[in-house]
Amino acid sequence: MSSPCAISAALPAPIIELQGIEKSYGRQPVLRGLSLRVEAGEFVAINGRSGSGKTTLLNVAGGLCRPDRGDARVAGFDLAALPDRALSRFRNQRVAFVFQCFNLLEPLTCLENVRLPSFFAAASADDRDSRGRAGAALTRVGLGSLAGTKAGALSGGQRQRVAIARALFTRPSIVFADEPTGNLDADTGEEVIALFSRIVAEDGLTLVVVTHEERVSRAASRTIRLEDGRIVP
Amino acid sequence: MNRKLARLVGENLRRHARSHALASAGIVVGIGTLTFFLALGAGARRLLLGEIFPLDRLEVVAPRASLAADLLGRRVELDDGVARRLAGRPDVRAVHPKMKLAFPARGWGGKSLLGRDFAFEVSGFLDGIDPRLVAGELPGGEFSDFEADTSDADRPVPVIVSRHLLELYNGSIAKAHGWPLIRDWMTSSFHGVTFTVELGRSYLGDTSSRAAPAQRRFRLVGISDKAMTLGMTVPLGYVRRWNARWAGDREAREYSSIVVRVRDKRDATSFVAHVKSLGLEQAESEAERVGLFVTLGTLLFALISVAMIVVSALGVAHTFLMIVAERRREIGVLRAVGASRGDVRAIVLGEAGVVGLVGGVGGLALAWAAARACDFCAARALPDFPFKPATYFHFPPALLLGSVALAVVCALAGAFVPARRAARMEPAEALAG
């Protein structure tokens, strides 16, 4: 198992390396010996039909579920070997997620949603610093003025911006986005894609996006197509 | 749990206030019932074993006289030597030797209090104790052996009575005869009442043959729990001299009993064993039987209450299972941003802890209110009786803390399975809803 300190200075390339990943739900195989390499700083779009395994691939790479077989090395970590607490810390510090249905905690304010990862940070960050960084992330996505607003009171586009701000808050190495524009109208979807593209360029993040939409694939540096749990050329 | 997680717990409690209130209600009823019965048991124990049948007070007596024991010379006398041996034990706080009047006597008086004199038998209802035992209780050395000092020999014999007798008088005799109640001893006309006792002569026809009868004036000077329960008590010196004059030397030497106060109730068992090893006996004590009765009664009601608490814990479990199912996606989000299984478990158990705390405090409030209501009703509805207490309940701090702690434990136990289920969810599975 790699220690986080060993990779703090320079992240290894490839930043995501999946080898022979298999994953089933019950008797239904979803990923069938899938292998994938993603270099640091890439913007990769994953598309394919429903049930092709796109979300499961994202979940395995992001440490949201464990593969049944195969190796998953992400940001220098062997995910299969990490115990729960270390895997949680990996999700807290190394990667971030943006979901189709935003997944904000509606009773909390935008600021609290953005700094939610700090609630579970291993080292208790200074509260004022955490608020400052969350505020800056909100400003970056154009919602600085809505910091104190409850997430439940926002529009769909605003919610997705808050979700992006939350993803940026911990300065992760990789952002995984699952259909980030799926619940947005065309114009708002364009805005979100533009925002993603700008942030990837500015921060040098690795972005892996599952999408059905052509416009998202066009913005990506590489597109991968999945069919029946396998990558097709 | 850090402050931020506490914030999440608080928010969850607010959002699910109704479900949590329902879960708390079960705990309130269960803990309230348990606390009520335990407080009633503690109150009964305090009244019965603290005042009526004190557990730390044992009465040592000589074994019943038997011809065989007398012939074999094995009769044990309760004399000064035995009293000193008992007083010398480290677990003994004090010894109170008592000597009963051992010859016929009768009395009359009370006109100043009751409007007319009444006659009463004294033999069997009078004993003597060392005045030093009540020195701190009665003012001005009124309870002294004045006869021992020849200059005061004509002063009336000071008499004390027990609160038991006073309660009996107030609760039964005064009511039956329409006589005045004795509420405040010191300002009452009961204090200072004098009457006459004729030593050596009885209303039952007996007359002492050792000396001619003699009359003495007696004066009530106080009440004390060291006085004879049903009768009157005078300084020991009087009884010793009177027994020597009207009954004989042996009656003037031998105590009727020695009341021993142990330092701690827990010392009583070992002390009784020591008493038996000396060939003496403990006078039949109601305390043990009463204590057992109170304990069994309390235990029975406590068991019923515990059953209610178990049901309330199941209620908590049901509520939290529903809440966890409802918050499945939210738990997935927390896991996605870095919450470990332990964090999720801490959040669910934190909510349960608050539910238990609120339920525990609510249960205490319910028990206290029910106790006050019972006391109020009892004060109004029940007639006066000896030792009628102002409250039938006792809420010691340990009971209060224990009840709240039990409520928290019960809620945590109820939420244990839901918390484990929430913590075991794989983030991806939870996010899928």
Residues B33-90: tens digit of each pLDDT: 999 999 998 888 777 766 666 666 778 888 876 566 566 666 678 888 888 888 888 8
- Per-residue pLDDT at A74 exceeds 60: yes
Specify the pLDDT at position B302: 86
Q: What are phi and psi of B10, to 5 degrees?
A: -60, -45
Of residues A66, A91, A107, nearest to B337 (C-beta): A91
Residue that is written with structure tokens 């010996």 in the block: A33
Is B329's Cβ below 8 Å from some Cβ in A?
yes
- Is-contact B355 B399, C-beta < 8 A? no
Separation between Cα atoms, residue B94 and residue B92, nearest integer Å: 6
Q: How many other CB atoms are there within 10 angstroms of residue B194's CB atom? A: 16
How close, in Å, is residue B9 to chain A by CA atoms?
12
How close, in Å, is residue A137 to chain B by CA atoms?
16
- Which of A217-226, B25-34, B175-184 shows the lowest per-residue confidence on average (mean pLDDT)? B175-184
With 0-12 / 13-18 / 19 or more C-beta atoms within 10 angstroms meaning exposed / middle / buried, residue B376 is exposed
Residue that is written with structure tokens 């270099």 in the block: A39
Longest CA span, chain B: 108
Q: How many other CB atoms are there within 10 angstroms of residue A25's CB atom? A: 13
How close, in Å, is residue A188 to chain B by CA atoms?
23
Is B420's Cβ below 8 Å from some Cβ in A?
no
Specify the pLDDT at position B188: 65
3-class secondary structure, B145: coil
Which has more pLDDT, B309 or A6? B309
3-class secondary structure, B315: helix
Mean pLDDT calculated for residue range B229-234: 89
Chain B residues in contact with A107 by the CB 8 A cut-off are: 11, 14-15
- Per-residue pLDDT at A11 exceeds 60: no
- Per-residue pLDDT at A73 exceeds 60: yes
Specify the pLDDT at position B384: 66
Is the pTM above the cut of 0.80?
Answer: no
- Per-residue pLDDT at B191 exceeds 90: no
Per-residue pLDDT reduced to its tens digit, B128-141: 998 877 877 777 77
Up-side HSE of residue B205: CA atoms within 13 Å toward CB? 0
- H/E stretch holding B100 reads strand B92-100
Which residue type does A35 have?
A: S
How close, in Å, is residue A156 to chain B by CA atoms?
17
Helices vs. strands in chain B: H and E counts, helices first: 15, 11
Separation between Cα atoms, residue A8 and residue A75, nearest integer Å: 10
Which residues neighbour B178 within 8 Å (Cβ) at sequence distance 6 or greater? none
- Is-contact B419 B320, C-beta < 8 A? yes
Per-residue pLDDT reduced to its tens digit, B377-424: 988 887 766 567 788 899 999 999 999 999 999 999 999 999 999 999
Specify the pLDDT at position A8: 45
Is B424's Cβ below 8 Å from some Cβ in A?
no
DSSP assigned state of A79: G
Is A197's Cβ below 8 Å from some Cβ in B?
no
Which residue type does A53 have?
A: G
With 0-12 / 13-18 / 19 or more C-beta atoms within 10 angstroms meaning exposed / middle / buried, residue A111 is buried
Chain B residues in contact with A166 by the CB 8 A cut-off are: 337
Give B94's pLDDT tier (boundaries 50, 70, 90). Answer: confident
Residue that is written with structure tokens 């939350």 in the block: A166
- Cα-to-chain-centroid distance, residue A55: 11
Which has more pLDDT, B409 or A2? B409
pLDDT above 70 coverage of chain A, percent: 92
Q: Hey, which residues does A109 pair with through a beta bridge?
A: A150
ipTM score for this prediction = 0.90
Is A59's Cβ below 8 Å from some Cβ in B?
yes
CB spacing of A107 vs B15 below 8 angstroms: yes
* B153 token code pair: 């020999």
- Is-contact B196 B109, C-beta < 8 A? yes
Specify the pLDDT at position B93: 86
Chain B residues in contact with A59 by the CB 8 A cut-off are: 427-428
User: H helices of B46-151, where?
Assistant: 67-72, 80-87, 111-114
Per-residue pLDDT reduced to its tens digit, B309-359: 899 899 999 999 999 999 999 999 999 999 999 999 999 999 999 999 999
Q: Hey, which residues does B216 pair with through a beta bridge?
A: B197
- Is-contact B200 B103, C-beta < 8 A? yes
3-class secondary structure, B282: strand
- Per-residue pLDDT at A3 exceeds 50: no
Of residues B5, B332, B335, nearest to A119 (C-beta): B5
Is A113's Cβ below 8 Å from some Cβ in B?
no
Average pLDDT, whole number, for chain A? Answer: 88
Mean pLDDT calculated for residue range B294-314: 87
Residue that is written with structure tokens 């042996």 in the block: B250
How close, in Å, is residue B421 to chain A by CA atoms?
15
- Is-contact B319 B23, C-beta < 8 A? yes
